[in-house]
Amino acid sequence: KNQVEQSPQSLIILEGKNCTLQCNYTVSPFSNLRWYKQDTGRGPVSLTIMTFSENTKSNGRYTATLDADTKQSSLHITASQLSDSASYICVVSAASSGDKLTFGTGTRLAVRP
C-alpha cells in the first residue's frame, strides 16, 4: 500500500532559526514528490516538485532534498519568519495509470517571535 509519513507532526521554533521537516514514502513506482505549504484557512500552495533524478531543489528560503534510494525527502527552512507558520504537506505521485497522488498528513510549524 502506498504511504507517505511525515515527521514531526508539529514543531515550534523561534523566528530566525532553521528547521527541517521529514517525509518518508513507500509509493511505487515513484514519479515525483511535491512539498506544499498550507496557511490556516487557505488551500495548499506548491513549494517544490522533484523527480527521481533531482537531489535538491530550492525556492527562496525553502530547500527540498530527495533520496530516491532510501525513499526519503526533507524540507529545510532557513532563517524562519513568522509567515512560515503553516502546515507543510508532502505529496508523492505514483508513475502508473491515473497518476495517483498519496498525501502525507503534514507537519504543523509554528514560528514564535
Binding residue for other proteins, selected from 103, 110, 111, 113, defined by CB under 8 A: 103
- Closer residue to other proteins (CB): 18 or 96: 96
CA–CA gap between residue 7 and residue 34 (Å, rounded)? 16
Angle (CA) 98-30-64 rounded to 5° is 115
* Interacting residues with other proteins between 17 and 36 (CB under 8 A): 31-32, 34
Binding residue for other proteins, selected from 21, 80, 84, 104, defined by CB under 8 A: 104
- Closer residue to other proteins (CB): 97 or 113: 97
Strands 107-112 and 86-94: antiparallel
- Number of residues lying near other proteins (CB under 8 A): 21
CA–CA gap between residue 23 and residue 76 (Å, rounded)? 11
Q: Torsions phi, psi of 84, nearest 5?
A: -80, -10
Q: Stretches 11-19, 38-46, 61-69, 73-81: which one binds other proteins (CB under 8 A)?
A: 38-46
